Amino acid sequence: MSTVTLEDAQARLGELIARLQPGEEIVITDAARPVARIVGEPKPAPQPRRLGTLKGTVLYAAPDFDAPLDDFKEYME
């Protein structure tokens, strides 16, 4: 837990927040008394992937989409 004065926090608030790690606390004091506390938020847990979320998004597929490529004809025979 870090402690900074109110004047210092006003001058460097962006820098203090940028350095803040998840769960870390910064106490802001005024006249040597704590007046505020900034706490770093933990990163949210990744959401599990859901099947079918892209269903219906492919609007066009070429008619020869699954046709063999000319480069591989010799391997297909």
Cβ(29)–Cβ(15) below 8 Å: no
Residues of the chain under the 70 pLDDT cut? none
User: What is the distance between the alpha carbons of residues 38 and 16, in angstroms, rounded to a whole number?
Assistant: 9
Which residues of the chain form beta strands (DSSP E)? 2-5, 25-30, 33-39
pTM > 0.75: yes or no: no
Protein fold of 1-42: YefM-like fold (3.40.1620)
Instruction: Identify the pLDDT of residue 8.
Output: 94
Dihedral through CA 25, CA 28, CA 32, CA 34, nearest 10?
-70
Q: What pLDDT shows up at residue 13?
A: 94
